[in-house]
Amino acid sequence: MVNTHDFGDEIVWRPTRERIERSHLQHFIREHGMQSFEELLERSTKDIAWFTEAVLQYLQIEFQEPYSNIVDLSKGIQLPTWCVDGKLNIVHNCLDKWVANPTNEPRLALIWEGEEGKSQTLTYGELAVEVNRCANALRSLGFHKGDVIAIYMPMIPETAIALLSIAKIGCIALPLFSGYGPGAICSRLKHTDAKGIFTADGYCRKGNLINLKSTVDIALNSVPTVQHVIVVRRSKNSVDMLSGRDHWWHEIVPCQPNNAALESTLAEDPIIIIYTSGTTGNPKGAVHTHCGFPIKAAQDIAFGLDVHIGDVLYWITDMGWMMGPWLVFGATILGATICMYDGAPDYPGPDRIWKLVQSHKINVLGLSPTFVKSIIPHGKEPVKSHDLSSINAIGSTGEPWNAAPWKWLFEVVCERTRPIINYSGGTEVSGGILMGNPLLPLKPAAFSGPCPGIAADILDTNGRSIKNQVGELVIRAPWIGMTRGFWRDNNKYLNTYWSRWKNIWVQGDWAIVDSEGHWYILGRSDDTINIAGKRLGPAEVESILVNHPAVKEAAAIGVPSEIKGNDLVCLCVLSPGNKSSVSLRNDLQKQIIDELGKPLKPQDIKFVSDLPKTRNGKVMRRIIRSAYLNKKVIDSDSLVNPETVEEIRRVVLTNNPARQVSHTAYYAEQEPDQSP
Question: Which domains can be identified in the chain, with CATH numbers?
Answer: 1-456+491-502 (3.40.50.12780), 525-668 (3.30.300.30)
Q: Is 563 exposed, middle or buried (0-12, 13-18, 19+ CB in 10 A)?
A: exposed
Extended strands (E) in 87-152: 108-114, 119-123, 148-152
320: left (phi over 0), alpha (psi -120 to 50) or beta: alpha
Strands 337-342 and 108-114: parallel
3-12, 70-79, 85-94, 298-307, range with the lowest pLDDT: 3-12
Query: 590: which residues sit within 8 A by CB, 6+ positions away?
Result: none
The pLDDT value given to residue 7: 54
Which positions ≥6 away from 13 have C-beta within 8 Å?
410, 416, 417, 419, 441, 442
Residue 536 pLDDT exceeds 60: yes
The confidence score (pLDDT) of residue 660 equals 40
Name the average pLDDT for the chain: 91
Q: Which residues of 314-353 are buried (b: 16+ CB within 10 A; e: fewer)?
A: bbbbbbbbbbbbbbbbbbbbbbbbbbbbbbebbeeebbbb
**Separation of CA 29 from chain center:** 28
Residues 507 and 426 sit within 8 Å (Cβ to Cβ): yes
Query: Which stretch, 131-140, 278-287, 629-638, has highest mean pLDDT?
Result: 131-140
Which residues are within 8 A (CB) of 18 and not within 5 positions of it... i.e. 6 or more apart? none
∠ CA 408-411-413, nearest 5°, is 85
Question: What pLDDT shows up at residue 120?
Answer: 98
In this predicted structure, the answer to whether residue 118 has a pLDDT above a threshold of 70 is yes
End-to-end CA distance of the chain: 24
Calculate ∠ Cα 18-23-26, nearest 5°: 100
Q: Is residue 540 within a helix (H) or strand (E), and if so which, with residue range?
A: helix 538-546
What pTM does this model have? 0.87
Q: Are 168 and 135 a contacting pair, CB within 8 Å?
A: yes
Instruction: Write out the DSSP string of 542-593.
Output: HHHHHTSTTEEEEEEEEEEETTTEEEEEEEEEEPTT----HHHHHHHHHHHH
51, 44 contact by CB (below 8 A): yes
From 292, 295, 271, 265, select the one nearest 59 (Cα to Cα): 295
- What's the pLDDT band for 670 if we cut at 50, 70, 90? very low
Average pLDDT of the residues in 254-261: 98
Burial class (CB in 10 A: 0-12, 13-18, 19+), 486: buried
> Is residue 280 pLDDT above 50, yes or no?
no
pLDDT at 552 over 60: yes
d(CA 159, CA 164): 9
List residues bridging with 314 in a β-sheet: 339, 365
pLDDT one-digit tens code per residue, 151-178: 999 999 999 999 999 999 999 999 998 9
As to burial, measured by CB atoms within 10 angstroms (0-12 exposed, 13-18 middle, 19+ buried), residue 359 is middle
pLDDT at 563 over 50: yes
**pLDDT at res. 351:** 97
Furthest C-alpha separation in the chain: 73
The residues, any chain, with a CB within 8 Å of residue 215's CB and separated by 6 or more, are: 152, 180, 181, 182, 185
Of the pLDDT bands very low, low, confident and very high (cuts 50, 70, 90), residue 673 is: very low
pLDDT of residue 272 exceeding 90, the answer is: yes
Distance (Å, whole) CA 416 – CA 423: 19
